[in-house]
Amino acid sequence: MTGELDVGVIVSTETMHARALTEFVRRLEALGYESLWLPELFGREPIATAGYLLGQCERLRVATGIANVYVRDAHAMAQTRQTLAELSGGRFILGLGVSNVGLNATRGHDWQTPEPKMRKYLDAMDAAATESPEPAQAAPLYIAAHGPKLQALGAERTDGIITYLMPPEHTAASRARVGPTLAINVVSPFLAESDPAIARATARKALQYYLTLDYYHREWSKLGFTDADFADGGSDRLIDMLVAWGDEDALRERVAAYQTAGASRVVIMPFDPVRDDGADSLSLLAPG
């Protein structure tokens, strides 16, 4: 990639044993990727995993994408931010988010309005006294933010925002809202598959959970989609907006579109497995 754009990767680590995960991280580093992002699901704990992986590589940055603010108190998160920034030599990135109603309910947490919840959490992090050596530079702090209220909070209180499953049009609108300097980290699926039927079927299977979430529907509706687009696994038009699929040129065009729209970093979510012949999305989009 060219210009100031950083290119990272987001994957779930649940299916990888420790050796395979370590090898994967070292492969990403060899390919020239700038960062690896770890989601918070029901398998590996992302902060513990980040600490381990930072010790298994030399250049790659490791990020939480995202760490759920419901499941750790703010003081613990402030400790995490300072500790991993110090011990990694500045290679840790802290991404925070509120997750969603359903996932938080399964862990016994009562849902709160996102913007006040995140603001109160950031206030508590700022107030926390962390009695350990300070890093040379604080870990970047980003929050997941799709709508105007959380994006305004991100611009006011953090180093940047994270968006998931949003097209370049949403990135452009976000850039207009947050101004020219705040970091915008775009998480987007990529699939190295040129057959439309295969590509869309693969994308629908991978996206089936996200297509049930109302807060994604609200954002996609602002882009002209309707309930009909969200039904039956998603319309072709919706799938093509959410997932970059095709040959290398098509995949790179999507990355370039995000950069033109104002993204600071594109975080690739690969929907295809790694291939020995290098024809997978991670190989085709490798910066190095």
Residue 221 within a domain = no
* Alpha carbons 203 and 205: distance in angstroms, whole number: 5
pLDDT at 1: 36
Residue 36 within a domain = yes
* 3 state DSSP class of 74: helix
DSSP class per residue in 172-241: HHHHHHH-SSSEEEEEEEEE----HHHHHHHHHHHHTTGGG-HHHHHHHHTTT--HHHHSTT--HHHHHH
The domain tally of the chain equals: 1
pLDDT at 42: 86
Residue 80 within a domain = yes
Look up the CATH number of the domain holding residue 68: 3.20.20.30
Residue 213 within a domain = no
Domain hosting 13: range is: 6-194+242-284
Q: What is the dihedral of CA 161, 166, 172, 173, to 10 degrees?
A: -80
pLDDT at 2: 39
Q: Is the peptide bond before 184 cis (omega within 30 degrees of 0)?
A: no
pLDDT digits 0-9 by tens, 6-24: 999 999 988 899 999 999 9
Residue 204 within a domain = no
Residue 232 within a domain = no
Residue 234 within a domain = no
pLDDT at 15: 87
Residue 163 within a domain = yes
Instruction: Indicate the residue type of 143.
Output: I
Backbone φ/ψ region at 74: left (φ over 0), alpha (ψ -120 to 50), beta: alpha
Question: What parts of the chain have a pLDDT lower than 50?
Answer: 1-3
pLDDT at 288: 82
